[in-house]
Structure 1
Amino acid sequence: MRPLRYSINVTLDGCVHHEAGVAPDEELMRFWTAEMQRADAVIYGRTTYEMMEGAWRRPASGQWPDWMSEWEVPFAEAIDRVPKYVVSSTLDAVDWNAELIRGDLSETVRQLKQQPGEGLSVGGVTLPLALAELGLIDEYTFVVHPVIAGHGPRLLDGLNERTRLEFVDRREFASGAVANRYGPVPAA
């Protein structure tokens, strides 16, 4: 069974909004590229899918935009080619190497996990909360940035039950950010 991994940037006060001042530098972008390359597919909700598509989809010209730094291109290429599953009740169709998911989220994700491969990645805020509630996330990676946002959506805010995690590993970055990786504590 391939694991479902949730990875996200987060501020010291738990904010996970993409505009909270936690844009990756070159070192962090290499980390995020490696994380994307560990995934056979990604699962996004509508909001995250549209945000990622707007930033990282290869333009029709085939040339990456001028605003993109050379060190961002490997991430763009990795996310551009990975298969995507989009959970949405409001979208009628998706493209960008994507398939729309509707219906029973738990059953669909369980079926995706049963397929062979290295792993699935989930990003965003709302969908990971639902998947955590269902007990479907096998690994959590929180890249904690030395920033206090003071506002914005919080990491897994609204989780109904406490989820115990066990430490797996840690990586420190020159920026002061720290990637902490955890797995769920097995049931006794």
Structure 2
Amino acid sequence: MRPLRYSINVTLDGCVHHEAGLAPDEESMRYWTAEVERADALLFGRTTYEMMESAWRQPATGTWPDWMRPWEIPFAERIDRTKKYVVSSTLKSVDWNAELVRGDLERAVRRLKQEPGEGLFVGGVTLPRALADLGLIDEYVFVVQPVLAGHGPRLLDGLRERIELELVDRRVFRSGAAAERYRLASRSSP
């Protein structure tokens, strides 16, 4: 069974808006490229899918845009070619190596997790909260940014129940950001 990993940048005050933290640098992009390489497929909600596609889909010309720095290209190439599943009740169709996921979310994601492979990667805000509520996320990876945003969507805001985690890895970047990897806390028998 392949694990489902939720990975996202988050500010010290819990904001997960994609522009709230530090601007990406070469070190952080290498880290995110390695994270995506740990997944056979990406799982996105509509908003995240559309945002990622607008930024990281290779143009039909085959040439990456001028704004993209050379150290961003490996991430772009990996995202571009990776299989994507998009949870949406409003999109009629998707492309960019993607497939729509409709119907019962829990059943669909359990089916995806049962397929062989390295893992599934989920990003975004709304979909991960629903998956966490269903107990489907196996690992949480937060790149904690040394920033106080003061506003914006908050990490897993509105969870129905508390989820206990245990830290399994921590890496500090030169920027002061820290990548923290958590898994579900072991439950000891009484």
TM-score, normalised relative to structure 1: 0.98
Amino acid at match of 1:67: W
Amino acid at match of 1:176: G
Q: Which residue in 1 is equivalent to 2:145?
A: 145
Which 5+ residue runs of structure 1 have no aligned equivalent? Answer: none
Q: Which residue in 2 is equivalent to 1:41?
A: 41
Q: Which residue in 1 is equivalent to 2:105?
A: 105
Q: Is the 8 A contact 1:9 1:22 kept in 2?
A: no
Q: Is the 8 A contact 1:122 1:128 kept in 2?
A: yes
- In 1, distance between residues paired with 2:26 and 2:147? 18
User: Relative to structure 2, which stretch is displaced further, 54-63 or 22-31?
Assistant: 22-31
- In 2, distance between residues paired with 1:117 and 1:42? 12
SS in 2 for 1:170: strand
Amino acid at match of 1:66: D
Matches within 5 A, 1:60-139: 60-139=60-139
Q: Which residue in 1 is equivalent to 2:55?
A: 55
Q: Which residue in 2 is equivalent to 1:20?
A: 20
Which 5+ residue runs of structure 2 have no aligned equivalent? Answer: none
Number of residue-to-residue matches in the alignment:
188
- In 2, distance between residues paired with 1:167 and 1:187? 14
Amino acid at match of 1:95: D
Q: Is the 8 A contact 2:30 2:75 kept in 1?
A: yes
State the Cα distance separating 1:19 from its structure 2 match: 1.4
Matches within 5 A, 1:151-162: 151-162=151-162
State the Cα distance separating 1:139 from its structure 2 match: 0.3
Q: Which residue in 1 is equivalent to 2:29?
A: 29
- In 2, distance between residues paired with 1:172 and 1:24? 14
User: Relative to structure 2, which stretch is displaced further, 104-113 or 13-22?
Assistant: 13-22
Q: Is the 8 A contact 2:43 2:123 kept in 1?
A: yes
State the Cα distance separating 1:187 from its structure 2 match: 4.0
- In 1, distance between residues paired with 2:11 and 2:186? 28
SS in 2 for 1:160: coil
Amino-acid identity (%): 76
- In 2, distance between residues paired with 1:127 and 1:23? 24
Q: Is the 8 A contact 2:141 2:179 kept in 1?
A: yes
Q: Is the 8 A contact 1:10 1:22 kept in 2?
A: no
State the Cα distance separating 1:22 from its structure 2 match: 2.8
Q: Which residue in 2 is equivalent to 1:9?
A: 9
- In 2, distance between residues paired with 1:21 and 1:8? 11
Tell me, yes or no, if structure 1 residue 175 matches structure 2 residue 175.
yes
